[in-house]
Each structure stands twice: as structure tokens, then as C-alpha cells.
């Protein structure tokens, strides 16, 4: 409608009526931290869990644990609270307790002492309070136990000669969060050029290409996380194959000369020994002075005197050996 003076009358919007509060319902609400928690190894971890419900005779609390990578359905119980009593259970029973006991004031925080690497995983805070079944009353908390890196193991592989490539590896068996690795060259020798060195901080591998004699030296690997660091060292020795071939050739020539010298020496000695031996020739009618046939005795040589025709012995004592006795004719 138009007001007097030709101006239109604007009507103000009527205020909105407030929404009616939701009808009260029976529900259990569990609150846990949205961010993952962490605790150093050997310390105490507090896993905060709060809830809202009408606590009654049927109120029950359960804390359980799931190892990393496994489903919630295979959770392992840590402790129960029911019928006004607390019942720790499982492998963590001696180290698990409630920050407030009994947990009937809306706080169900779990206290875990002397945490270990095996405590890393997901923790479940579950509240049951029949007939409050409007929600499942479950909260999940991820806990990581911080562990400094263990002493890494260093190793090497590849062709460690001039022009070849080598891979240096470094790995720690323990460490949470997972450590990063860094290789450094020790001593006054220059660090290999970036183009010939590729490093992977996650796997702990260092690749060295186009090796030279200057690449030889001591290398250190340092494993680091927020809890500390540890290191190991190894020595890389680069050889020159050309020098090895020259040395092998020289050694081969020297061995050949040695063998040749030994052969010549043996031949000369054999010839000398052969010349020293006496020449012994035996003919069919030759007689040996010192030899005596079996059954033959020595007889003095008798000769016939041409003047009287009698046999007489020679004055000389020399004897000769004959093979048989010959009849003597007077």
C-alpha cells in the first residue's frame, strides 16, 4: 500500500522463530584427540578419552589395542571397567591403568607406563551404557612410540675400479619415526662431484659413478630422526686395472725367465754328469781282469822253457784268470 505523500510503506521482516531444541535422546558421545599421539620409548603415555552419558548401573568401559596394519575387529583387550571394578588384562596389564578410577565422571583416560616399540598402534576407547545405544560410543587414538635410530649397518657393492660404479648402503634396524640417511666423505680428500654422486635419504643408498683413484677414502653414513642419530663407516678402495695388467705382464715375464734359467741349468748339469762317466765297452772275446767265472780258481801261469822243454813258473807274482784248465803237453 502507498503511504501519504506518495511514499511506499516498507514492511520490516518479521524475526525468525527460534528452532525447537532437539528431542532429548539416549546417546553416548566419546571424544578423543583427532591428531596422532607420540611418546618417547621408556616414558609414560596418556591417551585422553572423555565421554558424556547418563552413568548408571550398566555403564561399562573397555580399552583395547590394534597393531599397525590390522583391522579393528582383531583388537586385543587392555582393561575393562564394569560393575564398579577395574580388570586389567592382556600383555599390557601390568603397565596399564586409568587416570581416574572409577571413570564415572566423564573421563576415561588410559595411562600406559614404560612404553615400548611394540606399543605403537591404534587404541580403542569404547563406552557401553544400555539403554544409551544412539551411537556406538567408540573413539580411536593412534600412538607412535618414538625410538632413536639403532647403529646402522654399512655395506658396498659394485665395480670398484677406475671408471666403474659403486653402491654404498646404510640401514638401521630400529628407529621411529623412520630415520633419514646422509652420507659424508671423511678426511681432507675432496667430495666427489655432484654429477657422479646420487644419494637417497629414504633408502640410505649412495651411488658413485665414474670412479677415480680420488674416490677412494672413508665414507660415513648418519641415520637421524627426532630422537637422535647413529652412524657407521666404511672404506672404499678404487683400483686401476691398467696398472694391474702391467704388473701381471712383468710378473709373467719374470716367471718365464726363471723357468727358462732352471731348465738351462738342469741341462748343463746333465751334460757334465754324462761326460764324467767312463766308457765301458764289452766285446764277445774280451776278458775282464777282475772277473772270475763260477767254479774256476786262479792258477799260476806256466810257460814252457824253450831250452829244456820243462814247464816252470815265472818268478813274477802276477796271475791271470782263465775260464778252464787246459791240458799241458810235455
- pLDDT bracket for residue 180 (50, 70, 90): very high
Is the Cβ–Cβ distance between 47 and 123 less than 8 Å? yes
- What is d(CA 32, CA 29) in angstroms, rounded to the nearest whole number? 10
Q: What is the pLDDT of residues 86-145, one digit of tens each?
A: 999 999 999 999 999 999 888 999 999 999 999 999 999 999 887 766 566 899 999 999
CA 238, 243, 244 angle in degrees (round to 5)? 85
Is the Cβ–Cβ distance between 138 and 125 less than 8 Å? yes
- Mean pLDDT taken over the chain: 78
- pLDDT bracket for residue 318 (50, 70, 90): very low
Pick from 53, 54, 55, 101: nearest CA to 80: 101
Assessment of whether the complete model's pTM goes beyond 0.85? no
Please check whether the domain covering 28-146 is classified as CATH 1.10.150.170. Answer: no
Cis, peptide link before residue 131, omega less than 30° from 0: yes
Pick from 67, 56, 97: nearest CA to 80: 97
Q: According to CATH, where is 2.60.40.10 located in the chain?
A: 28-146, 153-240
How many angstroms separate the Cα of 142 from the Cα of each of 45, 62, 120, 156, 281? 12, 16, 8, 38, 111
User: Fold for domain 153-240?
Assistant: Immunoglobulin-like (2.60.40)
Q: What is the pLDDT of residues 245-275, one digit of tens each?
A: 555 666 877 887 888 888 887 888 777 777 7
pLDDT at 133: 62
Q: What is the pLDDT of residues 45-56, one digit of tens each?
A: 999 999 988 777
- What is d(CA 246, CA 163) in angstroms, rounded to the nearest whole number? 18
- What is d(CA 112, CA 318) in angstroms, rounded to the nearest whole number? 127
Using H for helix, E for strand and C for coil, what is the string for the chain?
CECCCCCECCCCCCCCCCCCCCCCCCCCEEECCCCCEEEECCCCEEECCEEECCCCCCCEEEEEEECCCCCHHHCEEEEEEECCEEEECCCCCCCEEECCCCCCCCECCEEECCCCHHHCEEEEEEEEECCECCCCCEEEEEEEEEECCCCCEEEEEECCECCCCEEEEEECCCCECCCEEEEEECCCCCCCCHHHEEEECCCCEEEECCCCHHHCEEEEEEEEECCEEEEEEEEECCECHHHHHHHHHHHHHHHHHHHHHHHHHHHHHHHHHHHHCCCCCCCCCCCCCCCCCCCCCCECCCEECCCCCCEECCCCCCCECCCCCCCCCC
| Range scoring the smallest mean pLDDT among 82-86, 149-153, 224-228 | 82-86
63: number of Cβ within 10 Å: 27
Backbone angles phi, psi at 15, to 5 degrees: -60, 145
Is the Cβ–Cβ distance between 38 and 142 less than 8 Å? no
Cell digits of residue 87: 580388570
Place of cell 588384562: 89
Would the pLDDT of 18 be above 50?
Answer: no
Cell digits of residue 143: 600412538
Would the pLDDT of 10 be above 90?
Answer: no
Pick from 117, 81, 78: nearest CA to 95: 78
Amino acid at each position: 500500500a502507498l503511504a501519504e505523500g506518495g511514499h511506499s510503506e516498507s514492511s520490516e521482516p518479521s524475526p525468525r522463530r527460534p528452532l525447537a531444541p532437539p528431542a532429548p535422546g539416549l546417546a553416548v558421545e566419546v571424544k578423543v584427540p583427532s591428531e596422532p599421539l607420540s611418546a618417547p620409548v621408556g616414558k609414560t603415555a596418556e591417551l585422553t578419552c572423555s565421554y558424556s552419558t547418563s552413568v548408571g548401573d550398566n555403564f561399562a568401559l573397555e580399552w583395547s589395542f590394534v597393531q599397525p596394519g590390522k583391522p579393528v575387529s582383531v583388537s586385543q583387550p587392555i582393561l575393562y571397567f564394569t560393575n564398579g571394578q577395574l580388570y586389567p588384562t592382556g600383555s599390557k596389564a601390568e603397565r596399564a591403568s586409568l587416570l581416574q578410577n572409577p571413570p564415572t565422571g566423564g573421563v576415561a583416560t588410559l595411562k600406559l607406563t614404560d612404553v615400548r616399540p611394540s606399543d605403537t598402534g591404534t587404541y580403542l576407547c569404547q563406552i557401553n551404557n544400555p539403554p544409551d545405544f544412539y551411537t556406538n560410543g567408540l573413539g580411536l587414538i593412534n600412538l607412535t612410540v618414538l625410538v632413536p635410530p639403532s647403529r646402522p649397518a654399512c655395506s658396498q657393492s659394485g665395480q670398484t675400479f677406475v671408471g666403474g660404479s659403486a653402491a654404498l648402503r646404510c640401514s638401521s634396524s630400529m628407529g621411529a619415526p623412520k630415520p633419514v640417511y646422509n652420507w659424508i666423505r671423511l678426511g681432507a680428500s675432496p667430495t666427489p662431484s655432484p654429477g657422479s654422486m646420487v644419494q637417497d635419504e629414504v633408502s640410505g643408498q649412495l651411488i658413485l659413478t665414474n670412479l677415480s683413484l680420488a674416490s677412494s677414502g672413508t665414507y660415513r653414513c648418519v641415520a637421524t630422526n627426532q630422537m637422535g642419530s647413529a652412524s657407521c663407516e666404511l672404506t672404499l678402495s678404487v683400483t686401476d686395472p691398467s696398472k694391474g695388467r702391467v704388473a701381471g705382464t712383468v710378473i709373467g715375464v719374470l716367471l718365464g725367465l726363471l723357468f727358462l734359467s732352471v731348465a738351462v741349468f738342469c741341462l748343463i748339469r746333465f751334460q757334465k754328469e754324462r761326460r764324467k762317466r767312463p766308457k765301458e765297452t764289452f766285446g764277445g772275446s774280451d776278458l775282464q781282469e777282475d772277473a772270475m767265472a763260477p767254479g774256476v780258481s786262479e792258477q799260476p801261469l806256466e810257460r814252457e822253457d824253450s831250452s829244456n822243454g820243462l814247464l816252470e813258473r815265472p818268478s813274477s807274482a802276477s796271475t791271470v784268470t782263465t775260464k778252464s784248465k787246459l791240458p799241458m803237453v810235455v
